[in-house]
Amino acid sequence: TLEARVTGSKVEVSSNDWSESIRENLLLVDKSFILPQIVGSFDPILLTRPRRFGKTMCVSMAEDFFGVPRGETLEENKARYMKLEIGADPEFIKKHCGQYPVIRLDLKASDALPPSWHIAYLFAARG
């Protein structure tokens, strides 16, 4: 059984940016335990859940973790994840945090899709 824990103390409903939410200590569900599952799979990942279940935040977390840091050092990024559930596996953080170019396609903002479609894809180059 996988269990997520809650982190942060401030409540804000409108934020979908993982790194901003962590920096501002916003209340969120720590789903960092799924990051090793993303690395272990070479199949495309499709996140399907009802609205407001954290799909965009989960993709934002993966993008922040795997992608090359912007606006901070790699060590600052790694330190942020050491405080989360994934921090129980420091070797995973050392090996994968900030190591991949990430392309994120967010079709939620597209006018080509009906408003009820909320799909986010995350592609990471694996070497």
Q: CB-based contacts of 69: which residues, under 8 Å, 6+ apart?
A: 76, 77, 98
- Is the pLDDT higher at 12 or at 63? 63
Is the pLDDT at 7 greater than 60? The verdict is yes
Give the whole-angstrom CA distance, residue 70 versus residue 74.
9
Per-residue pLDDT, averaged over 17-22, amounts to: 81
Question: Residue 121 has what pLDDT?
Answer: 47
Per-residue pLDDT, averaged over 46-58, amounts to: 76
Q: Which residue has the tokens 């809650």?
A: 6
Is the pLDDT at 48 greater than 50? The verdict is yes
Give the whole-angstrom CA distance, residue 113 versus residue 45.
20
Q: CB-based contacts of 88: which residues, under 8 Å, 6+ apart?
A: none
Question: Residue 74 has what pLDDT?
Answer: 92
The tens digit of pLDDT for each residue in 88-118 reads 999 999 999 999 888 877 666 656 655 555 4
For the chain, percent of residues with pLDDT exceeding 70:
67
Give the whole-angstrom CA distance, residue 78 versus residue 68.
11
Per-residue pLDDT, averaged over 1-23, amounts to: 67
Query: Could you give the angle at which helices 55-66 and 74-82 cross, rounded to 10 degrees?
Result: 130
Question: Residue 33 has what pLDDT?
Answer: 87
Q: Given the DSSP bridges, would you call strands 28-30 and 102-106 parallel, antiparallel or unpaired?
A: unpaired
